[in-house]
Amino acid sequence: MTYPTFSLQGPSTNLLKAQIAITGSKSETNRLLLLQALFPAISIDNLSNSEDAQAMQRGVASSQGTVDIYHAGTAMRFLTAYYATQPGVSVTLTGSERMQERPIGILVDALRNLGAEISYTKNEGYPPLAIQGKEIARDRVQLNAGVSSQYISALLLVGASLKNGLTLELEGKITSVPYIKMTLRLLEKIGVKTKFEGQIIKVIPAGDVLSQTMVVESDWSSASYYYSLIALSDVGSEVSLSSYTPDSLQGDAVLRDIYSHLGVQTTFKKDQLVLAKVAAPSDAILEKGLAWDLSNAPDIAQTIAVSCFGLGVACDLTGLHTLKIKETDRLVALENELSKLGAGLHITEKSLHLAAFNGSVKAHVTIGTYHDHRMAMAFAPLALRLPIAIEDSGVVNKSYPDFWTDMKTIGIQVSPV
């Protein structure tokens, strides 16, 4: 589906004041939906309203026929492991054209080594997958840990329901460790014992899981766009977001540290995350730029790059190897679209290097989104600096369906072209 292009215009003043309610983390929601399917005594509050979470809900309710999760990458990985370990399930798991280009062979190989019955219906190593669920007795498997943490989390989640538990031997540098730790902490919250030492992760069989309600923290990835807005706004701007906690399980909570270098102060008031513009970027940042390894939080790379461009700050972002296999090749997409605005940048297979910009930004540029929700939302805050247009505006539904409504709340004028 293709959505209309939206034209964005900043408010009459860049002094922002707003309160925004953001729904639950997509990452936590999808993990808990899988755990709830395995252990029905669990209930969940503050679910994400994203398309990805809806795809996951449909998926865990299915056991026969074709299951199409469209663009939902997390659902593809988690459901592959779920279906493979459920006796009696017989499904073909498929997705969008882009999803069928995203590799899944590492996870499928690991599941096959455990005894799962999975075959490819088109191209080897890629969806669609024909899965015949069965009881899994083997309890140890090796896995390349450097491609996607979602492969690891998928196995850990289902490992809690296997009669012999599961031991993962991780090979190579482990990517996106906070997402793995999120999975383990959620398992521990429902009473599943885990152990993570070095390159070995163990999940002990759960047995009976007690009835309990799990509350999903709001999504830090969604909060990133407000960090960008505040960074690009005038000193004195303040936005409150709910509901967040200082001890978040989400790796993207590193936003607090990153944006402090761009003049954004973060405080917590009860369940409110309060973002305030307290200063311009420091002289050190203006002189040397912002350098950050985003191996543990790659989903916020687009937002940070756009913020730095809008502030005229150079940035060097590394640890971005997973961005090549997302909804699009996000590094190439960033290079294409920032260049339209006049930016000078260089990308590699795992990094982005943006030069400081002090020229005149090109106005009325239309930003391509490449069917990627984060491209649309990362570029939207630039409306505070100049008129801009965003193609295929509805792609935001994948993770943040209320995004454009909330942009209007904060004062940005949004209208179809």
Distance of CA 355 to the CA centre of its chain: 26
- DSSP, collapsed to helix, strand or coil, labels residue 317 as strand
Q: Which of 252, 299, 372, 406 is catalytic?
A: 299
CB atoms within 10 A of CB 268: 12
Spatial distance between the Cα atoms of 244 and 340, rounded to a whole number of angstroms: 36
Q: How many residues does the chain have?
A: 417
Burial of 65 (0-12, 13-18, 19+ CB in 10 A): exposed
Spatial distance between the Cα atoms of 295 and 217, rounded to a whole number of angstroms: 22
The DSSP code for 218 is B
- DSSP, collapsed to helix, strand or coil, labels residue 375 as helix
Burial of 116 (0-12, 13-18, 19+ CB in 10 A): buried
In the residue annotation, 299 being an active-site residue is answered as: yes
Q: Which amino acid is at 52?
A: D
Radius of gyration of the chain (CA): 21
Q: Which residues contact 56 (CB under 8 A, 6 or more apart)?
A: 29, 30, 33, 34, 69, 72, 74, 75, 78, 79
Find the helix or strand (DSSP H, E) in which 168 lies: strand 166-171
- Of 294, 356, 305, 365, which is closest to residue 335 (Cα–Cα)? 305
CA 348 to each of CA 147, 323, 324: distance values in angstroms, whole numbers, following the listed order = 16, 11, 10
Q: Which residues contact 45 (CB under 8 A, 6 or more apart)?
A: 213, 214, 215, 216
CB atoms within 10 A of CB 283: 8
The DSSP code for 144 is E
Residues marked as catalytic? 299
